[in-house]
């Protein structure tokens, strides 16, 4: 099924996992940054994983190289602009892009400068292309509670000015979300929307933890089907699952894709949508996700329409903005 011309919405996409390899090479040469190779084809292998990737922890190592070229305002704006351009060319009408500001302080920028540089690149692209973008700021699980509060404060400062919410990302296996209970309590009290990566490297118990913190959206949440009570809860609370099949293949979150639960979720009125997670690290895009899924399960245009609608419903934007996007889908 060719979906190039179908309008698309995506809620789960990491900026640093989605850099153009040619740009990584160009920026590294410009700034004299050491790379393992200066051959573009070989570099692509360093920037992405294949089916031999072991687990999430190994997957996360792939973010080191893109991180090296994302340490100046100019470069941060450039890669942000390019990602939005890539999305616009794939016919996206709305996307939420996420990244972790703490990973971009190595050359002396402060957190505000990092966020503003990314917003600047996004703004430049959204002026040129007919696409709406908002930004999510990631708290990293392995960093301190103090740093998590910095991200909360940063989100509060820029909310409504290009930033729409918070995320918790990183090593789910070794760092439970409950470490950040205080942060998410404050976020909830202040009405700051958030999503939490859960149910990817661990099973339903990790999803329960995220829900106990008040998450109304889950990054992946894919393993929720293992627990019937959890399925009931997702349905009752209308909690959204941001599903990313090819990423799940790479982190081994799901063993058998013939039973990939996305279809089951949608058929059972669970709010699930389709996402790419990391366009470069997982060497993917929306079309590839659909092709990949189609080789295991039946999905059709009606399903894609449902994914889009679910994504819009759960987006961290106003009701008016949601209506506008729904009209655009027609």
Ligand X SMILES: O=c1[nH]cnc2c1ncn2[C@@H]1O[C@H](CO)[C@@H](O)[C@H]1O
Site for Zn ion, rule CB under 5 A: 219, 277
Task: Give the nearest distance from C-beta 241 to ligand X in angstroms.
Answer: 13
Q: 241 pairs with which residues across the strands?
A: 218, 272
Q: Which is nearer to Zn ion, 16 or 150 (CB)?
A: 16
Could you give the CA distance from residue 299 to residue 24 in angstroms, rounded to a whole number? 35
Could you give the CA distance from residue 204 to residue 212 in angstroms, rounded to a whole number? 12
Question: By rule CB under 6 A, what string of x and - marks binding of each residue 173-192 to ligand X?
Answer: --------------------
Q: Strand locations in the chain, DSSP E?
A: 8-14, 92-99, 132-140, 163-169, 194-198, 217-220, 240-243, 272-274
Task: Give the nearest distance from C-beta 278 to Zn ion in angstroms.
Answer: 7
Annotated catalytic residue 51: no
CA end-to-end span of the chain: 19
Task: Give the nearest distance from C-beta 126 to Zn ion in angstroms.
Answer: 22
What residues from 84 to 123 belong to the interface with ligand X (CB under 6 A)? 98-100, 103
Question: By rule CB under 6 A, what string of x and - marks binding of each residue 208-247 to ligand X?
Answer: ---------------------------------------x
For 164, phi then psi, to 5°, come to -120, -10
Residue from 35, 43, 47, 60 touching ligand X (CB under 6 A): that is: 60
Q: Which is nearer to ligand X, 170 or 193 (CB)?
A: 170
The site partner of 102 among ligand X, Zn ion, none (C-beta below 5 to 8 Å per kind) is none
Q: Which two tokens stand for residue 198?
A: 């859960």
The answer to whether the annotation marks 197 as part of a ligand binding site is yes
Residue 191: other Cβ atoms inside 10 A: 8
The answer to whether the annotation marks 277 as part of a ligand binding site is yes
Q: 220 pairs with which residues across the strands?
A: 198
Q: Which is nearer to ligand X, 53 or 271 (CB)?
A: 53
Check residue 63 for interaction with ligand X (CB under 6 A).
yes
Q: Which residues contact 27 (CB under 8 A, 6 or more apart)?
A: 33, 69, 75, 78, 79
Residue from 117, 169, 183, 215 touching ligand X (CB under 6 A): that is: 169
Q: Which residue, among 305, 304, 307, 290, has the nearest Cα to 246 in the 3D structure?
A: 290
Unique residue bearing structure tokens 């149910």: 199
Residue nearest to Zn ion (CB): 277
Total number of residues that touch ligand X (CB under 6 A): 18
Q: Which residue, among 272, 275, 246, has the nearest Cα to 261 in the 3D structure?
A: 272
Q: Which is nearer to ligand X, 125 or 138 (CB)?
A: 138
Q: Which two tokens stand for residue 51?
A: 């089916």
DSSP string, 9-54: EEEEEESTT---HHHHHHHHHHTT---S---HHHHHHHH---TT--
Check residue 194 for interaction with ligand X (CB under 6 A).
no
Check residue 278 for interaction with ligand X (CB under 6 A).
yes
Q: Which is nearer to ligand X, 131 or 137 (CB)?
A: 137
The site partner of 121 among Zn ion, ligand X, none (C-beta below 5 to 8 Å per kind) is none
Query: What's the number of CA atoms in the CB half-sphere (13 Å) around residue 266?
Result: 22
Supply the residues annotated as catalytic.
Answer: 200
Q: Which residues bind ligand X (CB under 6 A)?
A: 14, 16-17, 56, 60, 63, 98-100, 103, 138, 169-170, 197, 200, 247, 277-278
Annotated binding-site positions for Zn(2+): 12, 14, 197, 277
């Amino acid at each position: 099924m060719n979906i190039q011309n179908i309008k698309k919405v995506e809620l789960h996409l990491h900026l640093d996992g989605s850099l153009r390899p040619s740009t990584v090479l160009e920026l590294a040469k410009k700034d004299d940054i050491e790379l393992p190779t200066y051959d573009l084809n070989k570099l692509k292998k360093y920037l992405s994983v294949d089916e031999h990737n072991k687990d999430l922890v190994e997957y996360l190592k792939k973010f080191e190289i893109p991180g090296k070229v994302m340490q100046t305002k100019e470069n941060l704006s450039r890669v942000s602009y390019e990602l939005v351009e890539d999305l616009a060319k794939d016919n996206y009408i709305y996307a939420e892009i996420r990244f972790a500001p703490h990973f971009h302080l190595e050359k002396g920028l402060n957190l505000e400068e990092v966020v503003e540089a990314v917003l600047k690149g996004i703004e430049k692209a959204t002026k040129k292309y007919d696409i709406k973008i908002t930004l999510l700021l990631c708290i990293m699980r392995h960093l301190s509670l103090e740093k998590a509060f910095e991200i909360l404060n940063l989100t509060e400062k820029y909310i409504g000015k290009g930033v729409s919410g918070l995320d918790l990302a990183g090593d789910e296996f070794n760092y439970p979300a409950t470490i950040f209970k205080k942060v998410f309590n404050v976020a909830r009290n202040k009405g700051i929307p958030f999503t939490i990566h859960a149910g990817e490297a661990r099973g339903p118990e990790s999803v329960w933890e995220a829900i106990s913190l008040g998450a109304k959206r889950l990054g992946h949440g894919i393993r929720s089907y293992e627990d019937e009570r959890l399925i009931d809860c997702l349905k009752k609370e209308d909690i959204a699952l941001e599903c990313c099949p090819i990423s799940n293949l790479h982190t081994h979150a799901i063993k058998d894709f013939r039973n990939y639960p996305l279809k089951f979720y949608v058929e059972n009125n669970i709010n699930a949508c389709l996402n790419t997670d990391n366009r470069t690290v997982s060497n993917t895009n929306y079309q590839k996700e659909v092709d990949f899924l189609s080789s295991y399960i039946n999905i059709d245009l009606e399903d894609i329409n449902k994914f889009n609608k679910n994504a819009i419903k759960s987006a961290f934007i106003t009701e008016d903005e949601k209506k506008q996007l729904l009209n655009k889908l027609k």
